[in-house]
A and B are shown apart, each in its own frame.
Chain A
């Protein structure tokens, strides 16, 4: 029997969309490539216990072929992807893309890119949703709902001026010594910072401080980067498991959707997919389809469907991604101090910078260095490794990193299309706007000033501008609009080309503020499920 709704993809958008429908009694079939990782090893061990208890720790931390060891001259990023999360970015055989000015990451994993996120949950303000073709309260209601589902921790503090509060906010995670010191210092220099439009506060993260369902509260094992064995950090596959408890849900993994077969009535008749492994073609008849494969892969399916139907290679404009700049710092008061090896690894503090237009808001996430692999950092000191290691041990606890995020807008020069190959690939073209260098320079100067007021210095030459694509916040290819136009959707994500097609992921966002968008993606998907079904 053909289900009422066919959802393509099991990422953050897809599972929240499906869950909302399932609760309303709508039948859902989810098609997914659905690559899976290994179950967590020794789930009760802390990071250092893991090192001691594994028979081949290097294999776990660096990979069987040492692929996660960050060697000089090989990578510009501070940290790579640990072997235990490699599967998140694995491609099916033959998948490739052609990109210029953009380094995209794709996920074919069960749960999608959200399986490897760091949990940032930042609701958009009313100003930021100005271009969104629906009232802010429709989204706000869903922020409440999603927070209830996934568990968001945070505080009503100085950052609330940039990120609205929502219901179901759990108490924040206990601060580590370094973060604690930064907050104390902020308390003393707060007026000065605020005059400069700089604010410090707790990050909002989907990491539990109290149990939720089968998930346990964070107990500081220090294994965040390798995958929390407690399930404390939310991942979409957790919601997928919840969906699977519904009788009206059917999950079909192991299929890669190629395109949608469109009938003469401009309706999607079937989803055309190939089975992973055998490569055999499969068709799934549909009533209504929701694309939730992630902005880039959903766009690919959308473009392929048009190509198959009309022979036309459409170019979609307006791709967005957050520029990220990494700024390491040294907190002088923490020099020579020890650090607690068993602690939460990700960002506990955030920095917000007021701007003339609220849309230009600059957001920073502060991660203090505790337990982590440090060879990627030690090698950056321009000294022999014996001396570097010695010095690094003195500054280890004093190190931190601000990940500075910048907004992006839909611009015509950034586009996504299919190549003219026999098996068309995605071609992405991106170039930053002319104002970016000045915007970044100005913002980084403000971050530096704020850090300095907090007793921290930024070592010269260590600031790293990540390539576009690295933030993995892709959006804007088929935007939601009030007025009908080609290759847009209605405010409820309904395609203006194909009546029974909905886009429920990042592809439809009309504006990308300097915030992790995952929370908004989930809320928006849930909103569409409520409004249109």
Chain B
């Protein structure tokens, strides 16, 4: 009996399709499952074994590896994970897996990297840096291996597609940078096919193979193609200079707000550098049968619609709202709310439609504000000027309204801030300066987020 293929990242966008295709090809598969997302995937299929475990904890998959001869390493931290997480999962995780695979006598190791490692400059792009490190580890191992570097992966449900759609479907296309960076989108099924091909024809010759789709176009052309596919028309393009976006995003990450951001400074690199696949035998072999660009961009969207409707997340749980109430009350009055205020706040936020976020940006503001008193001040400063009708502002004002009906809180709202004029003005100036600083940080962090992530155009007020 052929030895099994050990797959990491099987629950991901490409991973799920890979599992299915490997099984269709008659391969026995062992899938490492960190989150439990694959719990039901193996039901009724004796050829697929799901192992609960963590890449960084080899003990959890040590035994499973002994039944395998091939490893396909897809798992990765992507998107806006922190620099530390990128390094931990993508570099250290790969290192741990390599060590365990070597011990288990694995003979073939396929590592899925990214075309991003070829960008001319990856400074600040933690994902690409970690992938570079991982590639070095794979290349330096004693295992027979291959490194695949796919370009932008599209297809129904592609995570990147949603972000690109948002940019493409604003009243005008918002494009970070000059839009001249070249891309070579590849359909997810073709990525899976290339992995399968490597496994089937035993293409483990210790080399790096780029893999990209059938056409090379500019980023601007890609966004236009998306817009054309969704609305039937091309659109005007607004270019936003990259430095204008990169600095503030980097700053936000530096002060620990990275996880609240929907995009990282590093991800902007894709708008600057070419991400195209170099010629190689795998690419040549697959080129003729690849899915075309028009099909890649047509999937997943709602044809003809101006913009995809915003689907609100489920209302927050009472526990989250109670926590939010505490953070917000501290922000507004510098003290904790009592049980009455908390209960009222939770009730209002659970029942009033107007207090629910109306756009992705609304949600982001709330998520940022919830993180603590300082973050709340930053988000509130921004919202007071630039998003006055956001769910965050409405919730804060409602809280203020609740507080002023209830002793002892109303006293803290009514009591005069008095004193001799010079002292009073000084105190106001100091307070005002604090607020201005928060506003500055808020603008630096949130303006690019709003622009870049487009926040569903018309509704993202």
Contacts and interface: CB of A to CB of B under 8 A. Distances in A.
Which of B334, B355, B406 has the most A CB atoms < 10 Å from its CB?
A: B406
29 contacts: A58-B344, A62-B402, A62-B405, A70-B401, A71-B394, A71-B397, A72-B389, A335-B421, A336-B417, A336-B424, A339-B416, A341-B414, A373-B405, A378-B400, A383-B435, A384-B380, A384-B435, A384-B438, A385-B380, A385-B400, A387-B431, A390-B428, A391-B428, A393-B414, A393-B415, A393-B417, A394-B416, A394-B424, A394-B428
Contacts of A394: 416-418, 424, 428
A73 B33 CA distance: 46
B406 A57 contact: yes
B270 interface: no
Given A336-B421, A383-B435, A69 B397 contact: yes
A396 interface: yes
Contacts of A371: 414
Interface in A322-344: 335-339, 341
Nearest to A390: B431
Interface stretch (B1-9, B22-30, B124-132, B346-354): B346-354
Interface of A: 48, 51-52, 57-58, 60-62, 65-66, 69-74, 335-339, 341, 371, 373-375, 378-379, 381-394, 396-397
Nearest to B442: A384
A383 B432 contact: yes
Nearest to A57: B405
A77 B385 CA distance: 19
Given A335-B421, A383-B432, A62 B401 contact: yes
B431 A71 contact: no
A374 B421 contact: no
B402 A338 contact: no
Contacts of A374: 404, 413-414
A396 B416 contact: yes
A388 B384 contact: yes
Q: Classify the interface of chain B: helix, strand, loop or mixed.
A: helix
Interface string B391-408: 001101110111011110
A371 B348 CA distance: 25
A384 B381 contact: yes
A385 B396 contact: yes
B388 A72 contact: yes
B80 interface: no
Contact of B397 (A51, A58, A72, A393): A72
B59 interface: no
A384 B402 contact: no
A169 to B, nearest CB: 34
B458 to A, nearest CB: 15
B416 A385 contact: no
A58 B405 contact: yes
Contacts of A397: 416
B418 A336 contact: yes
B406 A389 contact: no
B96 interface: no
A316 B112 CA distance: 79
A391 B431 contact: yes
B298 to A, nearest CB: 37
B20 interface: no
A74 B421 CA distance: 36
A462 B154 CA distance: 50
B434 interface: yes
A145 B329 CA distance: 54
Interface size class, chain B: 35 or more
Contacts of A65: 351-352
A70 to B, nearest CB: 8
B401 A375 contact: yes
B393 A387 contact: no
A74 to B, nearest CB: 7
Given A379-B393, A394-B428, A385 B417 contact: no
Contacts of A337: 416, 418
B411 to A, nearest CB: 8
A375 B400 contact: yes
B394 A73 contact: yes
Q: Which of A48, A52, A69, A371 counts the most B-chain CB atoms under 10 A from its CB?
A: A69
B193 interface: no
Interface hub of A61, A335, A383 (most chain B Cβ within 10 A): A383
A339 B418 CA distance: 11
B401 A386 contact: no
B397 A379 contact: yes
Contacts of A387: 431-432, 434-435
The residue in B344, B414, B427 that gathers the most chain A C-beta atoms within 10 A of its C-beta is B414
Across chains A and B, which 6 residue pairs bring their CB atoms closest together, nearest first? Answer: A73-B389, A384-B380, A394-B417, A387-B435, A393-B417, A338-B416
Given A336-B417, A390-B417, A390-B428, A375 B397 contact: yes
A72 B431 contact: no
A65 B394 CA distance: 15
A61 B402 CA distance: 9
Contacts of A74: 354, 389, 394
A389 B333 contact: yes
B377 interface: yes
A51 B407 CA distance: 7
B234 to A, nearest CB: 33
Contact of A396 (B388, B406, B414, B419): B414
Nearest to B398: A69
Interface in B410-461: 410, 413-419, 421, 424, 427-428, 431-432, 434-435, 438-439, 461
Given A336-B418, A337-B416, A382 B384 contact: yes
B246 interface: no
Contacts of B421: 335-336
A260 to B, nearest CB: 43
Nearest to B388: A72
Most buried by A among B348, B385, B400: B400
